[in-house]
Amino acid sequence: MTHTRNTPASNTKSRPRRRAVRQKTTLPASGFVGRARRARENPMAVRPLRDGRYVVETDGGTYVVDTEADTCTCPDSAIRDAECKHLRRVRIEIADGLIPAPDERASVCAVCGGRTYVPRFESGPVLCDRHDHAPGDLVRDRETKSLLVVLRATGDRADRSRTESDRPVAEYETNADYGSHEPVFEAVYVDSVPLVEDVAELRAKKRYLFPASRLVPVESGFAREQVRRTLAGSLPGGESRTTQATLG
Ligand SMILES: [Zn+2]
Ligand SMILES: [Zn+2]
């Protein structure tokens, strides 16, 4: 684990700079008083560390905040045992989505490139809220215009997910317009809206794999409960049934 505060400043000269220095910023402070106000109107730059703590740069000094232990290395926090403005500022920025929470890390959506936060130890491709699909969502296939229900994310990229004919999803001609790095979703075609199929019928349906952005959201949570029960039923020993997928 690297501790930034122990890194000699001269090291930064020999390495290519990874990102621009974060500018100190202020937040709207009207209606706030005391420390709550100073937490917003004092210029600060907050940077998450790899261990879930945060470095807070201010005009008066640089401190390390630990929101889980409720601590800050500033004198105010050490002497008065109060929630200092740095700790408050970090909490505000987490709540506003400006920085990741301690158990999250910043990542980039595989479809739009937008910033998003994911659980710290989650691996695999990432999607922002706008481009993600949840089990049970009703979606439309951009290519065939058909309606489908999403079963699950495979957790793999389109160039690494393989269909039952052992071909990567990204290699299908119908997927040429979608990124080979996109996460893949497993879905089934629905014959009617509202859904008349029961869980047994949903379970028997052939499953298909799609790159994320080939599926356009229609209605979120459309068949969440049916899909939950469908997947629960196919888990024990049902491994062979989970990916009988091909693409048109
Ligand atoms: Zn502090
Ligand atoms: Zn996105």
Q: How far is the CA of 202 from the centre of ligand 2 (A)?
A: 29
Residues 6+ apart with CB under 8 A from 104: 117, 118, 119, 120
Q: How far is the CA of 23 from the centre of ligand 1 (A)?
A: 19
Q: How far is the CA of 53 from the centre of ligand 1 (A)?
A: 13
- pLDDT tens digits, one per residue of 132-165: 999 999 999 999 999 999 999 998 999 999 998 9
> Is residue 133, in this structure, part of any structural domain at all?
no
Q: How far is the CA of 40 from the centre of ligand 2 (A)?
A: 29
Domain end residue (candidates: 38, 60, 95):
95
Classify the C-alpha dihedral 122-126-128-133 as positive or negative.
negative
> Is residue 201, in this structure, part of any structural domain at all?
yes
For residues 69 and 153, state if they share a domain: no
Cβ contacts of 65-70, under 8 Å, gap ≥ 24: 65/90, 67/91, 67/94, 67/102, 68/102
Domain that holds residue 51: 18-95
What is the count of structural domains for the chain? 2
Lowest mean pLDDT among 18-22, 79-83, 145-149, 229-233: 18-22
The DSSP secondary-structure symbol of 213 reads G
Confidence of residue 187 (pLDDT cuts 50, 70, 90): very high
Mean pLDDT over the full length of the chain: 86
Identify residues whose C-beta is under 5 A from ligand 1, the ion. 72, 74, 77, 84, 86
Q: How far is the CA of 32 from the centre of ligand 2 (A)?
A: 34
> Is residue 172, in this structure, part of any structural domain at all?
yes
For residues 156 and 233, state if they share a domain: yes
Q: For residues 3 and 25, give the distance between their C-alpha atoms in angstroms, rounded to a whole number.
A: 24
> Is residue 61, in this structure, part of any structural domain at all?
yes
- Within the chain, what is the greatest distance between any pair of CA atoms? 67
Q: How far is the CA of 47 from the centre of ligand 1 (A)?
A: 14
For residues 27 and 85, state if they share a domain: yes
- Identify the residue whose tokens are 């809206």: 193
The pLDDT, as a whole number, for residue 1 is 42
Strand extents, DSSP E, the chain: 44-48, 54-58, 61-66, 71-72, 104-108, 115-119, 138-141, 147-157, 183-189, 208-211, 215-219
> Are 32 and 22 a contacting pair, CB within 8 Å?
no
Q: How far is the CA of 21 from the centre of ligand 1 (A)?
A: 21
